[in-house]
Amino acid sequence: MPTLVELPNLPRVPVRLTATQHDTVRPGLLPIAIACVRSREGRFPRAEMPILFDPALPTGTYEPTLAEKMIRLWSNAYPSFGSGRRARSALDFIDLSACALGVRATARQLRYGHIKLSGTRHALIRRRLLDLLERTRRRAMRRAQKELGPEVVGELQRRWHGFARWLSFYATSCRCGKPLVPGLRYRWRHFVIDSAVEVARKEQAEIGVEAPAPRELRRLVRLAVSASRRGRAGWGIRTLITKPEGGRYLQHFILQRTTNHQREQSL
pLDDT confidence of residue 49: 54
Cβ–Cβ under 8 Å, residues 10 and 97: no
Look at residue 163 in the predicted model and tell me its pLDDT: 94
pTM for the complete prediction? 0.62
Residue 24's CB is within 10 A of a number of other CB atoms, namely 26
Where helices occur in the chain by DSSP H, the ranges are: 19-40, 64-77, 93-111, 122-148, 150-170, 185-206, 214-229, 237-242, 244-266
Longest dimension (CA), the chain: 79
Instruction: Show me where the domains of the chain are located.
Output: 13-170, 185-266
pLDDT, residue 41, reads 87
Report residues of the chain scoring pLDDT below 50: 1-4, 50-54, 179-182, 263-264, 266-267
Sign, CA dihedral 234-238-242-247, equals: positive
- In 3-state terms, what secondary structure has residue 243? coil
- Classify 91 as helix, strand or coil: strand
Predicted local confidence at residue 266, as pLDDT: 40
